[in-house]
Each structure stands twice: as structure tokens, then as C-alpha cells.
Structure 1
Amino acid sequence: MDPSPLSKETLQKFRSAFYDSPKNILAQNVCSRVDPFDVCLSRKQLEDVQHVFNHKVDEGKPMTNQKSSGRCWIFATLNVIRLPFMKQLNIEDFEFSQGYLFFWDKIERCHFFLNNVVEVTKRNEAVDGRLMSFLLHDPTTDGGQWDMIVNVINKHGLMPKKCFPESFSCEASLKMNRILKSKLCEYAKAIRDLLAKGAGDSEVRLLIEYQMENIFRIVGICLGIPSETFTWNYYDKNKGYHTIGPISPKDFYENHVKPIYNVDDKVCLVTDPRPTNPFGKSYTVDCLGNVVGGRACIYNNQPANVLLDLVKASIKDGEAVWFGCEVSKRFAPKQGIQDLEIHDFPLVFGVDIQTTLTKAERLLYGESAMTHAMVFTAVNTNDENEVTKLRIENSWGEERGEKGYLIMTVPWFNEFVFEVVVDKKYVPEDVMDVFKQEPVVLPAWDPMGTLAQ
């Protein structure tokens, strides 16, 4: 079919149809002055929201805030880990240092990228090829996946936030990331030029070491450099004084955190309903990771109801759950509600949005992907033991929802949750056996490789 331009007559027909409807005029009057999504909020759905649950873990304080950074995956992980840690030490409030893991992820991520440049160049990928272009587009993103945070914790350990507090570039990472991207693109060219001259592996390693010294300096200037050892003093709930250290972050994790929460005991399950990616299979994504020599990002693909059952089992046993979702869809951020019915788009616009395609179709057509990580802390079940709603600890401060906590319906879970992390003891044997498979490698740009930010 040959394309035809929009004619004057066609546009006039659209204009007449618009103004023939008083509802359109009312909607225009309101939406031209107010957030269109707020206009679409359903009063009825707002009235039905209650943060009361019959299965709830002990929650932590204070409510965390990632501010203007893409560190939700780090915050969500540390928010899960701190709950049993605080209980074990009998402390009132506590945060692990998000900035500490952010520092080491930046260092490791840049090194991983430079080694990816070597690998992809050796595949004879052109600099303007799809894969190299994809890698160069955002080489130092803040976002991440579960297996990536496990890599950083296992290699570098953990610190209390009191011992490595936030910096400006932790809370507002844009400018630092611009500096790093500029250098990484420059360094990618240098690596490709060196390989084009026939350089051996030893020459390339020396070049990357020189480049990483500069990267380390930049990140250290922006974020500070964590001490090799620290001493942490704290009071318990009974005002008793305690001290730990001097100790290395790695030993702090191994000796004081790992016996309570071992990241290696947790497994990541995803739900990707695209026909090309059958359930019961294992998947990974080309060039995705953050630590050279670390574990790969492995996805065990299961139906959404399996993920929901595992969340229920974990919460009922007292353990919070890390999860990844597309946070912005059918979401009332101020009220903290994730509900397919929270917006009445047809009433205002005459058409529906965001759920007109299936979950698989949204993935295929670029309309959906996992974008944010948070923590499930409660579920509500009915008389049939079916989950009816879920409670979420976010990392955006106390201003949204119920002092920072959100509420999610099960239909929303089915449509927009993409992965959960639970202890393997809750996972049936046949589901665990999927991890033994050789994973199918998805391309680097596949939506399942999208990073939580």
C-alpha cells in the first residue's frame, strides 16, 4: 500500500468529531491544566485501598530513598537483607551502605564493559553494528539485575551506611555517568584500534589496566573510596552499646550477614510469556553482567502464578522478596497504588491504553519491560488461600503511598511483574531443575535484559 498524506478534509473531519462531543471538550478543559493521569484516577478504586494484610514480615526503618539515581536494585537488595540482620542484632533502625555497592558496581561495570569491547571486536563486529552500538549507547548505567548484585556482594562484601555515607553523585549520578561514558567511548576506540593493529592479549590487558586506573580516580573523586577496614559502633533496642571491627567489608558480610542472609541461597525466576521463550526453560542475555569472572544473569522462566505462589510462601515464612516490575504502568504514584483499574482512560480519552496488548505482545512491540526493583513485605490471602493483594517497600522516600509503601493487586502482578527472587528452599524441585539447563542466549537488546533503575 502506498502511503497517503493526511488531507485537509480528513483533518477537518477529525476536528468536527472532536468538538461534536461535549465530553471531549470537558476532558480538554481539565487535562490542559492538570496531569492527565490524575484526571483519569478512579475515585472508586481509591476508596477500596487499605494497607491491612494477614501475612506480613517485620519491616525495617528508615524508609530509604535512592533520590536521582538508578540504584533501586541495590536499595531493594539491601532492604531485604537488613530485615533479618536488624532482628538478629535487635536494633531499631539500620541501613547498609548503598553507596558502597554503587562504588564497586561502577568500577566493576566499567571494567566489564571494556572487556566486552574486546570480546565483541574479536567477533568482527563493526563499530556501527547493532551489538556494538547497543553497548556504546549506555555503558555505565546505574541499573542492574539480581545476579549482578550477588557478584558485587560476594566479591566486595557489605558496609553499614554510617561507615560509608551517601555523596552528591550517589544521589544524583547523571553528571558522573556523563564523564564515565565519555571516557569509556574513548577507551573503546583505543581498544579497537589496538586490536586492529594485531595486538596480543597482554598488550590489551595493559591498556585496560591504564584505562581503569583513570576510571577508578574519577569514580573515587565523585563517590569517595571505601576504606579497606571499618569499625561500626551501635546501640541495640535496649540501649546496649556494641562494636564490630576493625573488619573488612568482605569479612563483615561473611561473618555477620551471610549466616543470616546468604545471597547464594536465593534464586531469580522470571515470567516471559512470549511464544519464542517457552516456560520451563533457562535463559541468559548476551554481554549482560558487571563483574569479569562473576556469575552470569540466569533467568528461570515460569508462569506468573508460579512466581506469585513463591512470593506467598516466602512472605508467610517471614522473608521479604526482591522483585522487578514495570513500575509506571497503571500506577498512581502519589497514592502508591498499582492496580489495572486505578485509571479510567476510556472515560477521559475514549480509548484504553497500557493493557490493550497482552503481556507477550507488549514485550514484542517495545511497550513493556522490567524497569524497577522493590520489595514485597506482605500479602493478603482469602479463605481459599489465594493472594488478593500485596504490600511493597519502595525506595523513593516517605512522600508516596503509605509513608513510602505501595499496594499492588494480583491482576497488576500478572501483567507487570517480571521477576522475583526467593530462597531456593521454597522452590519446587522441578522448577529448580531448570537451572541445570544450558541457558538459551538472548540478544543483548532483548527486553529481558532491561535493567532495574
Structure 2
Amino acid sequence: MDPTLSKETLEKFRSNFFSDEKNIFAQNVCSRIDPFDACLSRKALEETHHVYEHKVEAEGKPVSNQKNSGRCWIFATMNVIRLPFMKHLNIDDFEFSQAYLFFWDKIERCNFFLNNIVETAKRNEPVEGRLVAFLLNDPISDGGQWDMIVNLINKHGLMPKKCFPESFSCETSAKMNQILKTKLREYAKTIRDLIAKGEGDLKVQNVIREQMNTIYRIVGICLGVPAETFTFTYYDKNKTYHSIGPITPKAFYEEHVKPVFDVDNKVCIVTDPRPSNQYGKVYTVDCLGNVVGGRPCIYNNQPVELLLDATAKSIKDGEAVWFGCEVMKRFAGKQGILDLKIHNFPLVFGVDIQTILSKADRLIYGDSAMSHAMVFTAVSLNEKDEVTKLRVENSWGEDRGEKGYLIMSTDWFKEYVFEVVVDKKYVPVDVLEVFKQKPIVLPAWDPMGTLANVSC
């Protein structure tokens, strides 16, 4: 059969389209409004209620907003940590400085990239090859993974948002990233040229140190430079005045935050159902990370039911849960609903659109990847003690869902959630033992690493 789209074939398509009046009606609707809004199921909206059986004691205030940046992983982490911290200080509202960790991630990530260029050059990877081309395509993004946030907190600590507030380039990071990407690609060529000439490690690292001095200047101009010490003053719920400091960010974390939330006691469990990646194995992604000498990004691969069970146990015990997912599938943004039944695509298009491929096949064929991190704060269970729905704290302000909170069905969790972070005490001992294995290295472009490559 002729593979070209002939005039006769196109005329047949046209005739088929206009022969069904439902297509004309759907066209009239979808040419005027968002096609996904046109597919919203009224029945699903009526059956969705933001009421839960188990909920963390108090949710964070104010609702955070990452604005035009890809800092969801930082915001989700700060939203999880602030809950026990606020309870400990007996305060009504609080935010850790997302800008503070964003600053240090940019600095550390640029240094990590430049050293990846050294490593790949020593491996004799060609600049036109897939690995180096992948690294150069997006040398500095806003996204990140759980192990990367642990690296930043353990090395640089935390600050209250009042002591290091947002800047324009925090909230709208594209232009700063554009500057950094150009310089990093320029520096990558310089480094590869030095190595090609046979220059030693000392010479190369001296050049990187000079390059990083410039990077620090650029980032500092755009984001501001955090103070070495700060003083945090606040009123508790009883209107009593308190003051902490002067104190370093690292000491602030270790003395005031770590006793109520120790990042080293939390573990990241993922679910990757691809046949090539067995459950009960630990994986990592080549060249993924943010701090030279820091902990690598480790993925303990388990069935999705284990992630769901650990999440429920944590929330029932009063601890919120950090998680990574693919947020834009089967998502009613304005209503804040994540549900496989929220859209009736066949009614409008005559064919289903999403969740046709299995979760594994979507990963294999490029139709699924982690794109967003958020926080679970509540769950509901049925009479069999099975999770039926979950409450989600997002970082997109108060305009979506129930004043910034989303609702997720269990079926959606199983299809589009890929990782959760919970305390070790909620994970079976045999699963914790998996972390002792030598990680299997996935390629740098593997979809398990995409959350770290999110930009604005």
C-alpha cells in the first residue's frame, strides 16, 4: 500500500469527519474553549469531595507558590519539613527559604556539571555522542530529586524565608538559567580542550575554580547572596516573643530542625514497572546529582502497592509525605482533581487519549516521566483498609483546587506516582536491605531522572 497521504485518502478523512454530527458539535466546543475542559466529566466533579478520614494534625500556612520556576522539589521538601517545625515552635504560619536552597543548588549544580564534563572527557565520550550532547542540552535546570535536597540541607542547612526572601530570578528563573547555560557550555569546551591537550587534574581544577568564581557572581547578582549568619525572631501562638541567633544556616538545621525532621532518616522508594528494571533492586542515573562528593540519587524499586501502603502508614501516624509524579495527565487544573475518570475523552474525540498504554509502556515510549513533586497530607480508607483517595499540598498558590490543595484517586496514584519519601520506620526491613545493594546505573536520559531536569 502506498504510504503517502494521497488526495483521495485525505478526501475520505474529510468525508468521514463531517458525516458524524458529533464531530461538528465537538469542533464547535473545542475551537472555543480548552479541549480538556470540554472533556470534564460532570459526574466525576459531583462525586469529588475534599473530606478525608486521616489527616496530618495541621497543614502549612501560607500556601506556597513556586511561580515561574521548576523548584517544586524544593518547595515540596520545605512544605513537609515545616509541619513538625511549626508544631515544635508553636507558631501559626511559617516558610523556610526556598530561595536559599535554590541559590546553593545553582552553585553546586554548576560545579557538578563542570566536573561531569571532566569525567565524560576522561571516559573518551565524544562531544557529539548522546551522553555529552544530553548534558550540554540542558546543563542547568531548576528540578531535582530527594537525594539532591538532602545533599543541600546537610551541607548548607536551612534558613527562614523572612531571612532570605524571594527575588525576581527565583520566581522567574528562565533568563538567569539562559545566562548560566551559555557560560557552562563555553566552559565545557575550555575544559575538554585542556584535557585533550593532556593537562593534568590540578590545572583543570584550577580552571574550574576560576569558572565557578564567575558563576557565583552571576548567581549572586540574580538571587542575592545569603548571609553567613542570621537572627530569626517570631511570636508564638501565645503572642510570646522569641529570638534564635545569630546562627549559621547549618547550625539552625542541626539544632532546631533536625531534632523534629532528620532528612537522613527518610528514604526514597520508587516504582518503575518496566520489564528491564526489576523490583527489589536499587538503581541510579548516570551523571545525575548536584553536589560533588555528595550522596548519589538512589532508586529503590518496589511495586506501587508498597508505596501506597507506606504513604498511608505515614499519614495515619501524622507525617506528611513527599512524592514525585507526572502531574498533567488526567488532571483538572482549576478544580485540582487528579483522577482517571475526570475526563471523558471518548465522548468528545471518539477515542480515549490517556492511560491507554500501560505504565511501563508509557515510560518506554516516552509518554510518561516524573515532572512534579508535591506533598500528601491526608488519606481516606475503605472498609478493607485500602486507600481510596489522598489530599495533596501543591506549590502553585491558592488558585487551584481547594485553596491550593488537590485531591487524588488511588487509581491515579497507581498510574502516575513514581516515588515517595517516608521515614524508615514505615518501610519493611527487607525493603531497607535493598539499599545495601550496588546500584545498577541507568543512562543519563532515563525517565527516572527527569524530575531533576525540570525547568520553569
Q: Common fold, TM-score beyond 0.5?
A: yes
> How do residues 351-370 of structure 1 correspond to structure 2 at under 5 angstroms?
351-370=351-370
Give matches, 1:343-422, under 5 Å.
343-422=343-422
Q: Does 1:20 align with 2:10?
A: no
Determine the structure 2 residue equivalent to 1:106.
Answer: 106
Give, in whole Å, the separation in 2 of the partners of 1:197 and 1:283.
Answer: 35
Q: CA deviation at 1:3?
A: 6.2
- The Cα offsets for residues 194-251 of structure 1, whole Å up to 9 and x where unpaired, read as 1111000000010000000000000000000000000010000110000000000000
Residues 81 and 3 of structure 1: is their aligned pair in 2 closer, same or farther, counting only changes over 3 Å? farther
Shift of 1:354: 1.6
- Report how far residue 43 of structure 1 moved: 0.3
Q: Could you tell me which amino acid in structure 2 is paired with residue 45 of structure 1?
A: A
- 2:227: which partner in 1? 227
Q: Secondary structure of the residue that 1:14 maps to in structure 2?
A: helix
Partner of 2:278: 278
Equivalent residue of 1:397, what SS? coil
Counterparts of 2:106 and 2:153, CA distance in 1: 13
In the alignment, the residues of structure 2 paired with residue 182 and residue 268 of structure 1 have an alpha-carbon distance, to the nearest angstrom, of: 33
How many residues are aligned here? 452
Q: 1:82-112 CA distances to partner (integer Å, 9 max, x unpaired)?
A: 0000000000000000000000000000000
Distance, in Å, in 2 between the alignment partners of 1:384 and 1:87 is 32
> What are the superposed Cα offsets for residues 11-48 of structure 1, whole Å, 9 maximum, x if unpaired?
11100000000100000011011100000000000001
Structure 1 residue 248 and structure 2 residue 248: aligned? yes
Q: Output the CA distance in 1 between the equivalents of 2:381 and 2:236.
A: 34
What is the letter of the counterpart of residue 17 of structure 2?
A: F
Q: Equivalences for 1:22-171 in 2 at 5 Å?
A: 22-57=21-56, 58-171=58-171
1:172 deviates by 0.1
Instruction: Map 1:297-308 onto structure 2 (within 5 A).
Output: 297-308=297-308
Cα distance in 2, alignment partners of residues 389 and 54 from structure 1: 10
Cα deviation, residue 4, structure 1: 2.0
Q: Counterpart of 2:89 in structure 1: which amino acid?
A: L
Letter in 2 for 1:343: H
Separation in 2, partners of 1:356, 1:89: 48
Residue 324 of structure 2 contacts residue 451 of structure 2 at CA under 8 Å; is this kept in 1?
Answer: no
Matched, 1:439 2:439: yes
SS of residue paired to 1:436: coil
Question: What amino acid is aligned across from residue 403 of structure 2 in structure 1?
Answer: K
SS of the residue 1:430 aligns to: helix
TM-score after normalising by structure 2: 0.99
- Aligned partners of 1:78 and 1:251: how far apart in 2? 17
Letter in 2 for 1:197: K
Q: CA deviation at 1:353?
A: 1.1
Letter in 2 for 1:9: E
Counterparts in 2 of 1:187 and 1:361: CA distance versus 1, 3 Å: same
CA distance in 1, matches of 2:145, 2:114: 19
In 2: Cα distance, 1:259 partner to 1:414 partner = 33
Aligned to 1:332: 332
How far does the alpha carbon of each residue in 1:292-335 deviate from its partner, in whole angstroms, 9 at most, with x for none? Answer: 00000000000010000000000000000000000000000000
The separation in 1 between residues aligned to 2:3 and 2:231, in whole angstroms, is 72
Over aligned residues, Cα RMSD in angstroms?
0.7
TM normalised by structure 1 equals 0.99
Tell me the residue number matched to 2:262: 262
SS at match of 1:6: coil
Shift of 1:421: 0.1
Task: Please name the residue that 1:319 is paired with.
Answer: 319
Structure 2 residue ranges without an equivalent (≥5): none
Q: Distance in 1 between matches of 2:354 and 2:216?
A: 42
Name 2:196's counterpart in structure 1: 196
Structure 1 residue aligned with 2:425: 425
Q: 1:408 offset after TM fit, Å?
A: 0.2
Runs of at least 4 residues of structure 1 off by over 3 A?
none
State the alpha-carbon separation in 1 of the partners of residues 212 and 411 from structure 2: 46
CA distance in 2 between counterparts of 1:21 and 1:113 reads 55
